[in-house]
Structure 1
Amino acid sequence: MKVKIKEWNAVASWIWSLDTDRCTICQLAFEQPCPRCKLPGDECPPVTGACNHHFHLHCIVRWTEEQDYCPLDRQKWKVKN
């Protein structure tokens, strides 16, 4: 008996390895794009602050245009190195 494969469809998924699963500004999962982006991935990665809170890059950039503190604990916002 021979089997001939006519079509092959691969499926993959990925997740960011963070201790939380959602951006607290837009309330979307990090695997989803922020409201400004069309596709998830490297264009809008999660950003971690010195206070260890995580946000979509575009969400925290938009937030810090008006305020210079973390939206969760009101500490001065600095990106963790």
Structure 2
Amino acid sequence: MRNKYNWKLLSAEFQLASVKYPDLSMAAFASSRGIPASTFRKAIRREQSKEQKREACMQINNYKLAMKHIRSAISLLNNL
């Protein structure tokens, strides 16, 4: 059965729990939820990778928008 777990939610819960309990391991958290440790580890890493890609995309989009504004400003200055 695929996608049995809400990995995004579990990832957020693990991050919160690891802040509250710094010594908490992925395996311990996974076993407390009845999830195989290796499955949990892979899924959490996959979620972290997705989040990093989203952040990189946002940074690229912000950069593109900034460049567009700079080009517009230069164009306006050249027309003065």
Higher strand share: 1
TM-score band, normalised by shorter chain: under 0.3
TM-score, scaled to structure 1: 0.23
Q: Compare the two structures and name the one with the higher helix fraction.
A: 2
